[in-house]
Amino acid sequence: MQKQVFNPYLPSWEYVPDGEPRVFGDKLYVYGSHDRFGSDDYCLNDYVCWWAPVSDLTDWHTEGVIYRAVQDPRNTDGKMHMCAPDCVQGPDGRYYLYYQLHALQCTCVAVADEPQGPFAYYGAVKHEDGTPWGEKKGDAFVFDPGVLVDDDQRVYVYCGFGAHGFMRYVFKMRGNNVDGSFCLELAQDMITVKGGEHPIVPGHNLAKNTEYEEHAFYEASSIRKVNGMYCYVYSSEKSHELCYAYSDSPTEGFRYGGTLISIADIGYKGNTTPLNYTGNTHGGMTEINGQWYIFYHRQTNRKKSNRQGCAEKLNILADGTIEQAQVTSCGLNDGPLQAKGCYEARIACLLSGKDGIISSDGAEKKDKKMLYPYFTQSGEDREDDGDQYIANMKDGSWCGYRFFAFDGDETNISICVKSTDYGVLTVHCEKDQAPAAVIPVCPSETWNSFGASMKVKEGTSALYFVYHGTGSMDFRSFEIR
């Protein structure tokens, strides 16, 4: 097979959510927070950097750790972890990494001579009197910084949080503004506040009876300039979707644009049924070789804090509006996947139990979660040699893969699974249509292969695998021959 790239685009053992894609020179870099597999808390690992040549998005490399939480002088004991970062090249040619320690109300900055680091602590974004931005009464609640260096080299940072109900009351009592997102300009030193805060997108309370209602700002600021317009990407109050607002000014006049991606495909062509685990998502846009992409993350391991980066192509219309992207398994790949070869089950872009999906936000009881399939891996968090698979497929559970390019010839398909009982895995091009293949499954405590012939029409098609039987099945991979 030719080399391909899938969703998630990084190796199965890597958990880098909140991905901010940046093209510097001839390389695409992704900066994100760094989850620890198995953990119940967010962002416990140090920052890493992954990059690929813009000429070959299948060829991913890592520089390893580029900045450690203990490098911040307020965190020498390492008890605070670093939330979603962003990285830009400053007017001086150096690279500035903006981040936040989860227990502090300020935006921190590290600097490096190269985009892949290593980064060194630089300071905290501060008012002219030296007070960190976020620590003065009335300052915005500083969270999830997004940064723009405009064409004229003016620098803007975007932050905020959209709380409502009791949470809003608590933060207001602390003196922070949590009514949405805000922008302020920085001096050329990349760290000193220049002027006041500008409201960008309203939170829940202020969004009522406006175009933002039902898609109010929650978190995850990200800003790009797209065809001369300022495009502001954010996670809405629904949390599972990234929306955008646009303006011809970096500081005012933003209008609601729509949803760019939902990790459960909610809203895509009017779909109202969640088709994958819901939970938070965060990401940004970038243009690569004339094509715009949206980066986001998915949920795994039945936890809200074991997240992995994905990406999809965006279609920008002639009037400048952007269509909602469909979640796929091919993502950064140049077209559908080849309908030949072996594929890991983990690249499923859709995953559901018989009665639908479940949220990863931790609200459900553990015994209820055991009814649903999920992405997981064996062992603990590690830096190589991943074995991610789909676990706990019970009767009616299904997973979907979009898309493959079939040549119309009859093929064979085999699966690698473990099962606690006898069952059947049916393979469909459309989930509710007759199966293209029926694969019997026998009980096994170790990974075992089963196969059948399969006939799929020529063209681009999805594949859906549906389990029928008692007990449960774990699904590691499938091969099309």
Q: 202 and 350, same structural domain?
A: no
| Residue 79 domain flag | yes
pLDDT at 361: 64
What is the DSSP track for 49-90?
EEEEETT-TT--EEEEEEE-GGGSTT-TT--S-B---EEEE-
Cβ(358)–Cβ(277) under 8 Å?
yes
Statement to judge: residues 261 and 401 lie in one domain? no
- What would the two tokens of residue 253 be? 């006049």
List of residues 6+ apart from 365 with CB closer than 8 A: none
Q: Which residues constitute the domain of residue 341?
A: 337-480
372-412 confidence digits (pLDDT tens):
999 999 999 999 999 999 999 999 999 999 999 999 888 99
Rounded Cα distance between 285 and 220, Å, is 12
* pLDDT at position 422 over 80: yes
Question: Parallel, antiparallel, or unpaired for β 337-338 and 398-406?
Answer: parallel
299 and 342 co-located in one domain: no
Specify the number of domains making up the chain.
2
Q: Which of 247, 281, 313 finishes a domain?
A: 313
Task: Return the ∠ at Cα 232 (arms to 231 and 235), rounded to 5°.
Answer: 140
pLDDT of residue 163: 85
pLDDT at 165: 83
pLDDT mean over 109-129:
98
Same structural domain, 260 and 348: no
Closest CA to 362 of 307, 302, 306, 300: 302
Percent of the chain past pLDDT 70, that is, above it, reads 98
Q: Which residues are catalytic?
A: 18, 219
In a shared domain, residues 146 and 262: yes
What pLDDT, on a 0 to 100 scale, did the predictor assign at position 282? 98
More confident residue, 360 or 431: 431
Find, among 71, 37, 118, the residue nearest to 300 by Cα: 37
> C-alpha distances in angstroms, 44 versus 75, 80, 123, 207, 400?
13, 8, 21, 33, 31
Longest distance between any two alpha carbons in the chain, whole Å: 72
> Which of 64-68, 166-170, 300-304, 380-384 has the least mean pLDDT?
166-170
Q: Are 316 and 292 in contact (CB under 8 A)?
A: yes
Answer whether residue 329 is part of any domain: no
Q: With CA atoms as reference, report the closest residue to 479 among 444, 452, 446, 441.
A: 452
Task: Round to whole Å and give the CA distance between 386 and 408.
Answer: 33
pLDDT at position 420 over 80: yes
Structural domain includes residue 328:
no
Distances (CA, A) of 113 to 90, 250, 342: 11, 27, 41
pLDDT in tens, 323-333: 999 999 999 99
Query: Comparing C-alpha atoms, which of 202, 132, 192 is closest to residue 160?
Result: 202
**Within-domain flag for 12:** no
Residue 448: CATH number of its domain: 2.60.120.260
In 3D space, the residue among 68, 58, 56, 145 whose CA is nearest the CA of residue 100 turns out to be 145
CB of 178 within 8 A of CB of 171? yes
| pLDDT band at 365; cut points 50, 70, 90 | low
**Confidence label for 1 from pLDDT (cuts 50, 70 and 90):** low
Same domain, 347 and 434: yes
Q: Which amino acid is at 44?
A: L
Give pLDDT, residue 363: 45
Rg of the chain over all Cα atoms, to the nearest angstrom: 23
For residues 302 and 391, membership in a common domain is answered with no
Query: Is residue 113 scored above 70 in pLDDT?
Result: yes
DSSP assigned state of 152: T
Mean per-residue pLDDT of the chain: 95
Phi-psi region of 375 (alpha: psi -120 to 50; beta: other; left: phi over 0): beta
* Residues composing the chain: 481
The per-residue pLDDT for range 135-191, each reduced to its tens digit, is 998 899 999 999 999 999 999 999 999 988 878 878 777 778 889 999 999 999 999
Please give the model's pTM, rounded to 2 decimal places.
0.97
